[in-house]
Amino acid sequence: MRPVQIAPSVLPVDFSKLGEAIVALDAAGVDLIQWDVMDGQFVPNLTFGPDIIASTRHLTMKPYEAHLMVLTPDVMAKRYVEAGCQRLIVHVEACDHLHRTLGNIRELGATAAVALNPSTPPDEVEHVLDLVDLVLVMTVNPGFGGQSYIASMEPKIRIVREMINRAGLADSVDLEVDGGISPATVRGAAAAGANVLIAGSALFKDPQGLGHAVSEIRAGATAAFRG
């Protein structure tokens, strides 16, 4: 069974102090760092180009993953791998040929992952589990941080967990959730089978600091996780 991992979304940081935020997140004990890449078309927001990510790569040894909330992942994938992202997450909803897209990402030398928006059925990923090292079940509608956790996604998380386990991939494929994850919501997601927890606003608004927030979410996930 894969370990519990806590990863921040970089989305809520003060972008005038991006480098300092990356150093602080590393020091806070996160396991990896997620960049929410948005193109203003797949979602109504525009965020990080590859050069911004590349400019921070030297500041931490922690793995980077790019959550590509973009309409054209095939066009963008190479640049984000070159920017230093070890994993690329593409959305089912943006891929006409998902199996090929995931294979292309692996050929670039990165690990591939697939994301499901709240309304997308879990069986959309059933035939690509052998190509990914992570499935992301969105627990908000993508585009912005600070949204409320959609608890009705928990049955879907459970189904994806069962799919991974039934395929014999419990030791190689992570189940990630992203959106509204906090000390108050993490236990429900972990109990349903999520072992990688993405948190943005909950980390940065903790009055006791990033390290405390990471520890709180990690403790909740570890106590509740049912793989």
Least Cα distance to 73 among 44, 115, 32, 34 occurs for 115
Compute φ and ψ for 61, nearest 5 degrees. -95, -5
Number of residues interacting with ligand DX5: please give it, by CB under 6 A.
22
Cα(70)–Cα(42) distance, rounded to whole angstroms?
A: 5
User: Does the protein bind ligand DX5 through residue 142 (CB under 6 A)?
Assistant: yes
Stretch that binds ligand DX5, among 25-33, 74-82, 118-126, 141-149 (CB under 6 A): 141-149
Least Cα distance to 32 among 86, 109, 78 occurs for 86
User: Does the protein bind ligand DX5 through residue 53 (CB under 6 A)?
Assistant: no
User: Does the protein bind ligand DX5 through residue 200 (CB under 6 A)?
Assistant: yes
Map residues 148-167 to x or -, x wherever contact with ligand DX5 holds by CB under 6 A: --------------------
Whether 31 is a known active-site residue: answer: no
User: Does the protein bind ligand DX5 through residue 7 (CB under 6 A)?
Assistant: no
Three-state secondary-structure class, residue 139: coil
Question: Quick one: 166 exposed, middle or buried, by C-beta within 10 A (0-12, 13-18, 19+)?
Answer: exposed
User: Does the protein bind ligand DX5 through residue 185 (CB under 6 A)?
Assistant: no
User: Does the protein bind ligand DX5 through residue 201 (CB under 6 A)?
Assistant: yes
User: What separation in angstroms does the CA of 19 have from each of 15, 32, 69, 174, 225?
Assistant: 8, 15, 23, 28, 32
User: What is the separation, in whole angstroms, between the first and last Cα of the chain?
Assistant: 7
Instruction: State which of residues 9, 47, 111, 185 lies at the interface with ligand DX5 (CB under 6 A).
Output: 9
Instruction: State which of residues 94, 140, 173, 175 lies at the interface with ligand DX5 (CB under 6 A).
Output: 140
User: Does the protein bind ligand DX5 through residue 188 (CB under 6 A)?
Assistant: no
The residue count of the chain comes to 227
Map residues 10-39 to x or -, x wherever contact with ligand DX5 holds by CB under 6 A: -xx-----------------------x---
Instruction: State which of residues 39, 65, 174, 178 lies at the interface with ligand DX5 (CB under 6 A).
Output: 178
Give the residue numbers marked as catalytic.
Answer: 36, 178
